[in-house]
Structure 1
């Protein structure tokens, strides 16, 4: 006699049989439709919602770190530009430029009020950056940025143009042995426009476009 014991839970002879649909329904986790597109309750969607902002934040941090690291001089940041008397003689008639490792950042070395000063050749505005960002007009004695039209007087005070402040200054010191040292990692911001009390008049005609100089650098033989 054949074995008539049901072997399938859905066999009609099975007393507590259910239906295939009942079994499927028990395994379903129905959620309310949110409209077309990916289901926001899908684990993959939830992971993406967390991963994308995290990756974006990490990218911003990396870009910011690279940017600010690029603004900072690497390695040694000080330059001995010469003996104090030789430097004073070299800048007696006009400013001279010195750079860190022959590259940006650079400074205009000038003297007034009995002191040497090192003005940053990077102007306050991004358009004024570079070793030629702030140039010197030989006829007026003023500094200026051709890219924006900003002008600064002989003492680096903002005279006109869109720049928000006077020229920034690198720290310049005279050592005990008389060597003049410029620290390109130490920068003091120039006075804001509203802090400028007096602008020195130009020494002569203004430069509508400051001419390119081929040899403005300070080159003192040791």
Structure 2
């Protein structure tokens, strides 16, 4: 084989490796039918991976996502600018004279919708108090966190040993402050209402000027109170 033939063979082999990969490249021969007639290439739209954008489900999703976003934004605007009412925590206890008569001799407990939070209704020198049944310490929490001692007339926690007078002031024990108080009000119909969302922090320990005197011996352990809940019937 002479040198010219060798170069020609090398060019043919190289041409096979550098042949265009795109069928649309004009260097490709156009396809022919069996009868020798040339066929026209048909171009097919490429939709890419995934579902077609013309799919009804895809089109619905493209509409739903912006609408969901707008609904969330509208809700935020309504809450912060129009002041949607999150619900009331005010509860009617009953006619004020009847409530006063019921707690004249001892305090009674009332709970929001019979679940919680709860308050002790206490009458001291003609003034009504709604004292939280939760003490300031974590171990004094719960429906029976702070109970009432019938002999002394004081409130207290059997777990911590804290004791409070009928106004809720700390008398002894580790409690750092007195019992928190809920707001009481009489409406236009003479009914006493308690607002379980309006809470006033109890007085710090050692800050009370005076205490309500005990009416009897102190309870070393406050017994279970079967008549704690208020009943106006």
**Does the pair score TM above 0.5?**
yes
Question: Does 1:141 pair with 2:134?
Answer: no
For 2:165, which of 150, 153, 157 is the aligned residue?
A: 153
> Whole-Å Cα distance in 2 between the matches of residues 193 and 170 of structure 1?
19
Partner of 2:192: 180
Deviation at 1:4, TM superposition (A): 7.2
Deviation string for 1:173-206 (max 9, x for gaps)? 1123211100000000010113222223321111
> Whole-Å Cα distance in 2 between the matches of residues 106 and 219 of structure 1?
14
Deviation string for 1:8-46 (max 9, x for gaps)? xxxxxxxxxxxxxxxxxxxxxxxxxxxxxxxxxxxxxxx
When Rg is computed on C-alpha atoms for both structures, the one with the higher figure is 2
Contact 2:170 2:206 in 1 (8 A): no
Structure 2 unaligned regions, length at least 5: 15-85
Give SS of 1:89's match.
helix
Partner of 1:212: 224
User: Aligned runs of 1:188-207 on 2, under 5 Å?
Assistant: 188-207=200-219
> Whole-Å Cα distance in 2 between the matches of residues 180 and 131 of structure 1?
22
For 1:171, which of 169, 183, 188 is the aligned residue?
A: 183
Partner of 1:108: 120
> Whole-Å Cα distance in 1 between the matches of residues 166 and 210 of structure 2?
12
Give SS of 2:116's match.
strand
Structure 1 unaligned regions, length at least 5: 8-73
Deviation at 1:112, TM superposition (A): 1.3
Give SS of 2:100's match.
helix
For 1:132, which of 144, 158, 169 is the aligned residue?
A: 144
> Whole-Å Cα distance in 1 between the matches of residues 191 and 96 of structure 2?
6
> Whole-Å Cα distance in 2 between the matches of residues 212 and 155 of structure 1?
21
For 2:107, which of 92, 95, 118 is the aligned residue?
A: 95
Deviation string for 1:138-168 (max 9, x for gaps)? 0010000111111001221100111110111
> Whole-Å Cα distance in 2 between the matches of residues 207 and 148 of structure 1?
13
> Whole-Å Cα distance in 1 between the matches of residues 204 and 103 of structure 2?
26
> Whole-Å Cα distance in 1 between the matches of residues 212 and 227 of structure 2?
26
Partner of 2:35: none
